[in-house]
Structure 1
Amino acid sequence: MKLPIILDVEASGFGRGSYPIEIGIARADASTCAFLIQPCAEWTHWDPKAELLHGISRERLMREGYPVRDVAQWLNDELGDCRLAYSDSWGFDNTWVSLLFDCASLLPRFRLESLRRLLNEQQLERWMSTKEAMIDSASIRRHRAGEDARLLQLTYERTLSGTD
């Protein structure tokens, strides 16, 4: 079975002024990849509560992050052929991906869709309990983009098979 490509974004905060700080994907072959992002000069919002959640400091982004153009180009290289990725937080993630591409002065060569579009009624009913079981059993480090993308992909696969 070919798995859907899942994209996840960690951000500087939860509301207005927030921006992407890490983008990760879980590929169709179940491998993952993620990159920290150096904030653009105009990206100044920082929410300490968000940092507590993901554990990534702004200083670390400045030190270890990749320039926005490099991350946007990587996404286009990764997703340009399949032209489609899915997100469980489409409203936020789509906004942050758009902000990344805008700052990079590039156009995305892929579309981001809501993961819910892939789920049937039975999957929706089992989603939360299955996801919690996966968190407990898969020893995934939460709130990091690559691992969260893989968690969503594993949850999708498990709900598809009907086993929790």
Structure 2
Amino acid sequence: MMTVPVVIDFEASGFGKGSYPIEVGFSCRHGDGWCTLIRPEDDWQHWDCDAAQIHNIRRETLIERGKTPQMVAESLNTYLGGQTVYTDGWTQDYVWMARLYDAAGLTPRFRLADFREIISPPQEKIWHATRIQVQEELNITRHRASNDARILQMTWLRSYDATRLVH
């Protein structure tokens, strides 16, 4: 029997070169979530207005309320140490996680893995429809990292249960 995966999500200043993490959140095995804003380092200047319209976080808010990369990296290591943590955007999230940990001068004590490692072909077939259903049921209106992580986790769980019952 598969255990419920821990899911992490990053929001960022934009995409591509120069982008950096602005928020990280995760959903634990029992659905408990954690989320925090990340204060940009002085040399983190890239800001994409299109990305900002999606996450709806102002750079000024990050400067005022965000935690330092070191505080965020230490918290992630405390909460997630020794675990495999899944993301649906591994290539981007890995770069943003690396940028966070580089700024903090730390190393992640958890493994960041691609969600595709644990999604079976039958789950993949119903993934999109299941995700829409989960989003509607949870009625989450804010596009934030911990919300996205919870939606992904619930989609995995629901699609896993649905495909397991068929076989």
Q: Tell me the TM-score range normalised by the shorter chain.
A: over 0.9
State the shift of 1:144 in Å: 0.3
1:80-99 mapped onto 2 (5 Å cutoff): 80-82=81-83, 84-99=84-99
Amino acid at match of 2:129: S
- The yes-or-no answer on 1:16 pairing with 2:29 is no
Q: Distance in 1 between matches of 2:34 and 2:108?
A: 18
Q: Distance in 1 between matches of 2:138 and 2:116?
A: 22
1:94-105 mapped onto 2 (5 Å cutoff): 94-105=94-105
Q: Distance in 1 between matches of 2:26 and 2:136?
A: 21
Contiguous gaps of at least 5 residues in structure 1: none
Contiguous gaps of at least 5 residues in structure 2: none
Residue aligning to 2:154? 154
Q: Distance in 1 between matches of 2:73 and 2:143?
A: 21
Partner SS for 2:140: coil
Residue aligning to 1:145? 145
CA contact (8 A) 2:27 2:33 kept: yes
Q: Distance in 2 between matches of 1:116 and 1:67?
A: 31
Q: Distance in 2 between matches of 1:143 and 1:68?
A: 21
TM-score, length-scaled by structure 1: 0.95
Q: Distance in 2 between matches of 1:147 and 1:45?
A: 24
Q: Deviations over 1:75-98 (max 9, x none)?
A: 10011132x100000000011001
1:38-49 mapped onto 2 (5 Å cutoff): 38-49=39-50
Q: Distance in 1 between matches of 2:3 and 2:37?
A: 27
Amino acid at match of 2:100: L
**What RMSD in Å do the two structures reach over aligned CA positions?**
1.2
Q: Deviations over 1:93-112 (max 9, x none)?
A: 01100110000000111110
In percent, how many aligned pairs have the same letter?
41
Amino acid at match of 2:97: V
Runs of 4+ in structure 1 over 2 Å off: none
Residue aligning to 1:58? 59
Residue aligning to 1:131? 131
TM-score, length-scaled by structure 2: 0.94
How many residues are treated as equivalent by the alignment? 162
